[in-house]
Structure 1
């Protein structure tokens, strides 16, 4: 049996020590949450509570999960790290591929990429991404990220993303596992 420690909404200044301790007591992995910001008024109900309200407020700590995985990976040797679930919709796939590749390399392939679309229209719009095309756009994002992470010179010409030959080095020495979660 394997055990995962979730650090959702935990104190940022304790994450590194939590990772050390989790590894010492036998946990297999750490699950890292994702939230870009807290909007005072939300346009859509939060899908994971019965009444649509969020389980956190504007003072709840959120650290970037990829940065947290890198920091925690530096003080552990066997613990794996997963995003739980990183909202892809408001991000750039090439920049994200670079970050994911870096985390995979810095943790010696102890990183799994949990992804989803995202539920809040504000996270898309305020980051410059049209909310209306989120589903198809995220499918293409996953394709781009996997392509770039595989290594070598690649190019992509899709509906939402278009780039000529490029390479990001170093590519992870093993494929980064992707896990898709959400309601859509």
Structure 2
């Protein structure tokens, strides 16, 4: 059976709940939620997804936190699923993200998939207090940490980038949260094959 997804990039925030209800009524299977932390006035590297390296949006383009959007849209729907396409993982904290992802999965009745990428802008890393160097290895470990915590029970992790003693977050999702790995490089595709439940463009 063919399934169709609605992408809601750069959508005015007040339209999202109604859009979710309409998409569900029309038979769409899922809604893809993009991620952008902020618009830096000056970018130090080219945006990788346009021919000239410029961004496709302006400082005033609306962006919503995709995890909050999924919870809000999930509250007004009952069957349609949501996934991030993709959340820029590298600039964030995996322990905090595990709490957020688990909460969204629970609030939506396991209708949430976690699409992740590394992120392209050094500013997003540096201004959020995360190192830009070794970002690929760091994201690999972040995925490991988030999956570990989401699995439930008392867990600990001692890795190259993250270290914590035994902790537990409750409630854990009653089903595993699927991870979709984004990216077009060979490394991203290998990551998708190694730790992902799917790939997203």
The corresponding residue for 2:27 is: 26
Structure 1 residue 124 corresponds to structure 2 residue 125: yes
| Count of aligned pairs between the two proteins | 184
The corresponding residue for 2:57 is: 56
Partners of 2:140 and 2:52 lie apart in 1 by 29
TM-score by length of 1: 0.99
How far is 1:49 from its partner? 0.7
Structure 1 residue ranges, 4+ long, deviating more than 2 angstroms after superposition? none
Partners of 2:45 and 2:86 lie apart in 1 by 18
Secondary structure at 2:41's aligned position in 1? coil
Q: What are structure 1's unaligned runs of at least 5 residues? A: none
The corresponding residue for 2:150 is: 149
Partners of 2:140 and 2:133 lie apart in 1 by 14
How far is 1:133 from its partner? 1.7
Secondary structure at 1:131's aligned position in 2? coil
Structure 1 residue 176 corresponds to structure 2 residue 177: yes
Partners of 2:165 and 2:124 lie apart in 1 by 28
- Per-residue CA deviations over 1:69-118 (Å, capped at 9, x if unaligned) read 00000000000000000000110000000000000000000000000000
RMSD: 0.6
The corresponding residue for 2:69 is: 68
The corresponding residue for 1:137 is: 138
- Per-residue CA deviations over 1:2-25 (Å, capped at 9, x if unaligned) read 010000001111000000000011
The one of the two structures with greater contact order (alpha-carbon pairs below 8 A, sep at least 6) is 1
Secondary structure at 2:134's aligned position in 1? helix
Structure 1 residue 37 corresponds to structure 2 residue 38: yes
Structure 1 residue 80 corresponds to structure 2 residue 68: no
The corresponding residue for 2:107 is: 106
Partners of 1:104 and 1:170 lie apart in 2 by 10
